[in-house]
Structure 1
Amino acid sequence: MIKVEDLVIELKGFTLKVEEFEAKRNEYVIIMGASGTGKSVFVEGIAGFLKPKRGRIVIDGKDVTYLPPEKRGIAIVPQDHGLWPHMSVYENIAFPLRIRKVNENEIRRNVKELAERLNIEHLLNRSPSKLSGGERQRVALARALIIRPQVLLLDEPTSSLDPKTRKAALELLKMIKGSVTVVHVTHNPYEALVLGDKIAVMNRGRLGRPKDPREVLLNELSYYVDEIREATSLIGL
């Protein structure tokens, strides 16, 4: 589904190099690594927000390397959720369909169906400023899913949530697992073990190949060792 080959993205004082990366259809791939290693640069590159110096990004057999974000079949949920404060929840979710000139009746139907699925139908008339962190996360996910993307990119989607809300968010992400190809950036080993089919490690701008989550967490990310022990005991590994 996603193939990245010989990708180089240069920013001021930083270079991202990805020799090879692949996420299969409906696979859930976690990207982990220390802060500042290039994880967000990678997902923004896939999304089309950053232009590469060289390389290829292929989605479902189509080279999208130099296509604009809206032409890639990709949706992204940024770390801050990125909701527009001047729009209601309904308008936030509907916006991606509006810019694609979808019929208003179809927009209403799609928003209603997705809001019911994510249990946010009672929030549709509210302002994002009136939502809790967990509610904003669900709305941001709804806005991403409304276009039925081939690929969903999640940049630390639970980092700002309290433990109770984070647990609910993980349940939500487990609901969509297997229905869309996901690339999910996180520092949380529990999230990685619960959600990830594979983990790829980012280290100083270099991304390793996706591997089995337990192998990566126990053998490659030694600085997570205490959290890993707790996480693996919680889920019975």
Structure 2
Amino acid sequence: MKEILIHNFTVKRGSFTLNPLSLTIEKGEIFAILGRTGSGKTVLLEAIGGMFPGNGGSVLYDGVDVMDIPPFNRRLGFVYQDHGLFPHMKVYDNIVYGLKMHGFSKDEQGRRAGALMEMLSITHIRNQYPGTLSGGESQRTALARALALKPEILLLDEPFSALDPATRQQLYLELKKIHEHFQCTIIFVTHDFTEARMLAHRVGILLDGQLKAVVLADRLMDGHYSDEVEQFLGRNQRI
């Protein structure tokens, strides 16, 4: 697990600007980035993971500036909203892909993949292709692939948004189990208030490219915010 320190960091992508922000995410924390569609949540997540260079400021893992370190050398796992599985590879091959690229032996690939498939209850689909999987099976496969390299940071882009309510609840439990087992720092993007409150330790509210507030998850609906945040939370409509 790692502490993540973001200092005066900004990103410009086309017409969108992620305004300079500073944020510390504690070692081993589950942190939610909450906001509307188009607010910059995924841009911030990708910036933390080093998917593209920033336009100012710094990102540090445990005090080490990682701005010049490529994502595959940062000990992190990333799961996108669409899961990003390779359609031509079976579940097992998707899971061990990163291990192969890093030169792990076939025995070690099998050991890690087997343990993850058992943990996530997907052993029975190891020989299936992504196109045959349910949403929950696809998500579990993507999580297994991201965890195969034992990341110290796990980044999740709206991981549960496309799932039915029952599967979503099951995966909430899976995520807590993953956090406990791997002891990694987890950052996830969501637009769901309930999800943020259930899973995170703290929540950062991001609106129009600006970090408006950071609050304890269980106090999300009790804090005192600007009018813009109050409107986003729907509290100005309460009677």
Whether TM exceeds 0.5 here: the answer is: yes
- SS of match in other structure, 2:149: coil
* One-letter code aligned to 1:147: L
The gaps in structure 1 that reach 5 residues or longer are 230-237
**For 2:63 and 2:213, how far apart are their aligned partners in 1?**
20
Identity %: 37
TM value normalised by structure 1: 0.91
SS at match of 2:32: strand
Paired residue total: 227
The question of 1:37 aligning with 2:52 is answered: no
Q: Which residue does 1:182 correspond to in 2?
A: 186
Stretches (4+) displaced over 6 A: none
Q: Does 1:193 align with 2:207?
A: no
CA distance in 1, matches of 2:85, 2:214: 31
1:200 aligned partner, one-letter code: G
Q: Give RMSD over aligned pairs.
A: 1.6
C-alpha displacement of 1:96? 0.7
Q: Counterpart in 2 of 1:203?
A: 207
Instruction: Say if 2:52 is the partner of 1:50.
Output: yes
The equivalences for 1:1-237 within 5 A come to 1-178=3-180, 179-208=183-212, 210-219=214-223, 220=225, 221-222=229-230, 223-225=232-234
User: Residues 69-120 of structure 1: CA distance to partner in whole angstroms, max 9, x if unpaired?
Assistant: 1011111110101101000000000001111111111111111011111111
Alpha-carbon distance in structure 2 between the residues aligned to 1:210 and 1:91: 39
User: Match of 1:232?
Assistant: none
Structure 1 residue 209, shift from structure 2 partner = 5.2
Cα separation, 2, equivalents of 1:190 and 1:22 = 23
Q: What is the deviation of 1:68?
A: 1.1
Q: Deviations over 1:137-166 (max 9, x none)?
A: 101111111111110001100111111111
Aligned to 1:234: none
* Of 136-145 and 199-208, the range deviating more from structure 2: 199-208
1:177-233 CA distance string (max 9 Å, x none): 34210011011112111111000110211124532113333434544448xx9xxxx
Cα pair distance change 1:208/1:73, threshold 3 Å:
farther
The unaligned stretches of length 5 or more in structure 2 are none
Hey, what's the Cα distance between the residues in 1 that align with 2:147 and 2:135? Answer: 18
Segment of structure 1 superposing worse, 44-53 or 128-137: 44-53
TM-score by length of 2: 0.90
- Partners in 2 of 1:208 and 1:173 — Cα distance? 26
Matched position secondary structure for 2:220: helix
Q: Distance in 1 between matches of 2:6 and 2:213?
A: 11
Q: For the residues of structure 1 that align with 2:172 and 2:144, how far apart are their CA atoms?
A: 15
Task: After superposing the two structures, state which structure 1 stretch, 65-74 or 209-218, moved more.
Answer: 209-218
Q: Aligned equivalents of 1:207 and 1:70: distance in 2?
A: 27
Q: Is contact 1:198-1:213 (8 Å) kept? A: yes
